[in-house]
Amino acid sequence: MPTTSFTPGAAAAGGALIGAAASLLLLGQGRVAGVSSVVAGLLRPPTHETPWRAAFVAGMVAMGTVGAWLWPAAVVSTVDRPPVTWVVAGLLVGFGTRLGSGCTSGHGVCGLSRASPRALVATLTFLTTGALSATVARWLGGVGP
């Protein structure tokens, strides 16, 4: 599924599944489904929080593996970039999500639904920055979707 495609039906269905997942984790485990925070927690020394974090990531990887097998188009990258950009992007995402204490799932999905002002500021910031970055990148080198 190219992220730049306009597919409102699939987007709504995917959003509903993500919302259901976030609700399941909040109601069943009492935890927020912020993917970057869950992963970052696994990088720290093991605590009583480690098992559920590992189980959540395992569930994601398992579904990703099954999804890639059943529906390869769902995980095909639509962005052709030199590998150095993957590294730079990964570093920025990793550092930035820790700096902002969350990512699109923690702030955008869970934080906004809990009416968190901090999540609203974070979401507006990364959406605006992302749009500006994509626009500037297009102007400079013809890159971008």
Partner 1 sequence: MIGLAIPFAAGALFAAGLLVGGMTQPQKAVTALGTGRPDVLVVVASMVAGMLAHRVWERRRAGAPPRPLHPG
Distance CA 72, CA 2 (A): 12
Binding residues for partner 1 (CB under 8 A): 1-3, 5, 7, 10-22, 24-25, 28-29, 31, 33, 35-36, 39-40, 43, 45, 51-53, 55-65, 67-68, 71, 74-75, 77, 83, 86-99, 103-105
- Count Cβ atoms below 10 Å from residue 42 Cβ, excluding itself: 13
Rounded least distance, CB 143 to partner 1, Å? 16
Would you say 49 or 138 has its CB closer to partner 1?
49
With a CB cutoff of 8 Å and minimum separation 6, the contacts of 116 are 107
Cβ atoms of residues 63 and 57 within 8 Å: no
Nearest to 18 by CA among 5, 32, 2, 39: 32
Contact 19, 109 (CB under 8 A): yes
Give min distance, CB of 25 to partner 1, in A: 4
Least gap, CB of 55 to partner 1 (angstroms) = 4
CB of 145 to partner 1, least distance (A): 12
- CB closer to partner 1 out of 59 and 131: 59
Is 143:88 a contact under the CB 8 Å cutoff?
Answer: no
